[in-house]
A and B are shown apart, each in its own frame.
Chain A
C-alpha cells in the first residue's frame, strides 16, 4: 500500500494508533447501518480517520428537518432529493478520496443483513428502530463481527460495544481476553411499537446525537486498531440536558443469562421470527405493515395519540387510531390497529411505509 499517510499525522501521534494502526484503519471495511443523525457523524469521522472502505446503507431521502443534525448534508441535497447514502458517498469523496464508499439505498432487514455484513470488520449502528438493531446484533454474533450499538432521542443517548462471543473463542478480542454480552443478553426483546419516543415525535438535540456517535466512532477505531482492552465494556447512557452520565455494568449478563442469540446461537431475528412484514394493499396507494407483538399485547392508543398530535389531526376509537402526517411535504395517513399493525396511506413503497412507521410510531 503506497498511500500517503501525511494527512493522518496527528492521529498517528497517538500511541494507541501509530503508523501501524493507521495502516490497519486503511485496510478496514466498516458497515454503517443508517445514514441519519448518527450515521452521518459516524461516516464523516470514520472517513476522516482513514477507514479505507465504508459500506453505507440507508433507505431514506434527505429532508429539510434532517439538516439540524445530519452533518454530511446541505440544502442543495434537500432540493435535489438525493438518497442519504448517495449524498454521503459524494460528500466523503470530497473529504477523503482515499476512502472507498459503497452507497446502498435499501432497507436493512433480516433478508439482507448477512450479505451486507459479510467481510466487514465492524458494524456500526445508526438505525432508527430496534427491530433492525436486533437483526444487526444477530448478524454480528453469527458472523463474529464487533457491533457498536448507539441511539439517541431527545437529549438522551446510549451506546455500547458488542465484542461477540464466538463458538471457538478464538476471535482477536477473545484472545485479548475481552468479549461482551450481546444486545439480546441485555434487552431480550425489542420494545413493542409505539412505546418509545422517536426523534420525529419527541424531538432530538443535535449534540446528543453527535456525542453518542463520536463515542461509537471511538470504539470502532479501538477495535479496528486492535486495542480491544481499551474498548468500554459498559453501557454508557448520557442525558446532556440533565448532565447525567451513567455507565451500566453489563458484563454479567452473558454469564447469568441464557441468551438465545449469543449463548444458544439461535438467530431468531435473522430467521425472521419477529420480522415486520409489509403488503402493498390492493386498490389503494397504501402499504400494510404487520408488527409482531407478544400474544395479547395491545397498542396504547392514548399515548401514541398524544405524541402524534403535534403533527396533525389524530382521531381514535377503540378499534383504530388515524393520524394525518406531513413528512417532507408529502401527506400520509397513518392508521394503527390494536395488534400493532398499521396501514400507511400515501405510498405504495414498503420502504417509505417502514420509514414513516419508524419515525412516527417507533419500533
Chain B
C-alpha cells in the first residue's frame, strides 16, 4: 500500500512511536496525578515533559496552558464552547468571524451555536487561489465581534493562510484569535507570540506523527479565566490533585482535563514530536512541498486534470486537490486503491464550504496528501497511475 492520505492521519508514524507506546504500557501505565506512587508519578512526569516540549515547539511561555485532548475536534470543541458558552445570553450575542476554508470540526460547532442564537456568525470567502485576504476579515469586524477563528491551512487545498497578518489585526482590535492548526502543526512553524494566537487547537496524529486519540489545545492568557469570566469546561469530572472542590478546580491544565488522559497515546506522541524536532519542521515541509510541486508541474497544463488552489507549492502544505475529466472523485479513489494499491481521499473532506467555493460541491475532489515518509518512487507510481486512469 502506498499511502498518500496524510492529511487524514499520518502513516507510517515516526520511528520510535510504537516502541514508546509499548514501553509505556509495559512499564508506566498508571493513572497520572491520581496517586503518589512511583508509577503514577512517572506517568505524570511523562505528561509534563510532553507539555513542556510542545510549549517550546509553539513558543508558549507557560506549559500548563497546554491541554491534552483526544483529537483535533475535541480540542476545537473545548476551545469554541469554552470561550463562547453553549446557551444564549440575554441581550448580548457575540459576533464570530470564520472562513469558508474551515473543517466541519470548526464550522459545525459554530453553526450550531449560531442556530441556537448563542453567537452571530460571519463566514469570510477565499480567493480563487485558495487564500483568505486578511483585509476581508478586517472588513467583517463589527462592534460586537469577539473572536476570529480560522484554519492555518485548508485541509482541501493545502493553502497556508497568512495568520500572522490576521493575528496582528485581530490583536490591534483587542479581539481573540483562535487558530486550527490541524494541517500545519509539525510541518509549518507556529509561534503563538509572534502570530498573536490566543487559542490553538491541533491533533497529535497528523504531522506530529503520533497515534490517533491524541490532541492538544493551547489556551492563552488573554482568554477568559476559569470561574471568574466563565471559560466553560467542556468536560467535568475527576482531575486528580484537588478533589475537594465541588466543580472543576480553576487550575490549568486540570481545569479542562477531566478524566483519565490517553497516557499511552501521549507517550507515543512524545516520540513523534521528538522525531519532528530532530528532522526539522522546515525540512519535512520542504519534502512535502516538493512532492506537491512535482504533481502540479506534471498536470497543471494537462486538460484532463483540474487542479484546485495555487500552483505555487511554497504556499502550501503537502496537500493537493484535483479532479479528472469524466470521472467521479470517488471512482478515482477506488480505482487507485483497487488497481494500484494507492490510498488517497476522495469526497468533501469534511469541508463543504470550501468545496462550494471552488465549485466542486457535492461530489468533491480527489485529495493527495504526501507525508514525511513518502518516497520519490512512490510519487512516480502515483503520477503514472493518475496518467493511466485519465486515459
Contact = CB atoms under 8 A, between A and B. Distances in A.
Interface of A: 281-286, 288, 317-320, 322, 335, 337-339, 341, 343, 345
Contact of A283 (B334, B348, B391): B348
Interface string B328-347: 10110011001100000011
B348 A338 contact: no
Given A282-B347, A322-B331, 18 more contacts: A281-B346, A281-B347, A282-B346, A282-B349, A283-B348, A284-B328, A284-B347, A317-B391, A318-B339, A319-B338, A319-B339, A320-B331, A320-B334, A335-B328, A335-B331, A338-B338, A338-B339, A343-B331
Nearest to B339: A319
B323 to A, nearest CB: 12
Contact of A341 (B328, B334, B352, B389): B334
Contacts of B355: 283
Contact of A282 (B331, B334, B350): B350
A317 B331 CA distance: 12
A337 B330 contact: no
Contacts of A322: 331
Interface string B360-382: 01111000000000000000000
A88 B12 CA distance: 53
Given A282-B364, A284-B362, A339 B338 contact: yes
Interface residues of B, number: 20
Closest 4 CB pairs of A and B: A282-B347, A283-B348, A283-B364, A337-B338
B332 to A, nearest CB: 9
A199 to B, nearest CB: 27
Contacts of B363: 283-284
Contacts of B391: 317
Contacts of B364: 282-284
A192 to B, nearest CB: 15
B328 A319 contact: no
Nearest to B364: A283
A284 B333 CA distance: 13
Interface in B310-336: 328, 330-331, 334-335
A283 B331 contact: no
Interface of B: 328, 330-331, 334-335, 338-339, 346-350, 352, 355, 361-364, 389, 391
Contacts of A339: 338
B330 A343 contact: yes
A337 B328 contact: no
Contacts of A345: 328
A319 B349 contact: no
A318 B339 CA distance: 9
Nearest to B330: A281
Nearest to A345: B328
B330 A341 contact: no
A288 B349 CA distance: 16
Contacts of A285: 362
B389 A282 contact: no
Contacts of A343: 330-331, 334
Nearest to B365: A283
B342 to A, nearest CB: 12
Given A335-B331, A343-B331, A319 B347 contact: no
A101 B330 CA distance: 42
A345 B355 CA distance: 20
Contacts of B328: 284, 335, 345
Contact of B389 (A281, A288, A319, A335): A319
Contact of A284 (B330, B339, B350): B330
A341 B362 CA distance: 22
A283 B362 CA distance: 5
Contact of B335 (A283, A288, A319): A319
B213 to A, nearest CB: 22
B348 A282 contact: yes
Nearest to B388: A319
A337 B333 CA distance: 11
A321 to B, nearest CB: 11
Given A317-B391, A319-B389, A341 B331 contact: no
B143 to A, nearest CB: 38
24 contacts: A282-B346, A282-B347, A282-B348, A283-B347, A283-B352, A283-B361, A283-B362, A283-B363, A283-B364, A284-B347, A284-B362, A285-B362, A317-B391, A319-B338, A320-B334, A320-B335, A335-B331, A335-B334, A337-B335, A337-B338, A338-B339, A339-B338, A343-B330, A345-B328
Given A282-B350, A283-B355, A288 B338 contact: no
Nearest to A317: B391
B73 to A, nearest CB: 16
A345 B349 CA distance: 18
Contacts of A337: 334-335, 338-339
Contacts of A283: 347-348, 352, 355, 361-364
Most buried by B among A281, A338, A341: A281
A284 B328 CA distance: 10
B138 to A, nearest CB: 32
A341 B339 CA distance: 12
Contacts of A281: 330, 346-347
Contacts of A338: 338-339
A114 to B, nearest CB: 32
Given A282-B364, A283-B363, A341 B350 contact: no
A281 to B, nearest CB: 5
Contacts of B330: 281, 284, 286, 288, 343
